[in-house]
Amino acid sequence: MIGWKTASVLDPSVKQCVLVAAPHTSNWDYPISLATLYANGVKVRFLGKKSLFNFPLGILMRATGGIPVDRSKHNNLVDNMIAMFKEHEELILMIPVEGTRSYVKEWKSGFYHTALGAKVPIVMGYLDYGKKTAGFGDLFYPTGDYEKDLIAIQNFYRQFTAKHPEKSSLNT
**57: domain CATH number?**
3.40.35
More confident residue, 63 or 101: 63
Domain count, the chain: 1
pLDDT on residue 104: 61
pLDDT on residue 166: 82
What is d(CA 80, CA 25) in angstroms, rounded to the nearest whole number?
A: 26
For residue 58, which amino acid is it? G
pLDDT on residue 97: 84
pLDDT of 172 > 60? The answer is no
* Domain interval for residue 33: 5-171
User: Measured at the alpha carbon of residue 137, what is the angle toward residues 131 and 139, in degrees to the nearest 5?
Assistant: 175
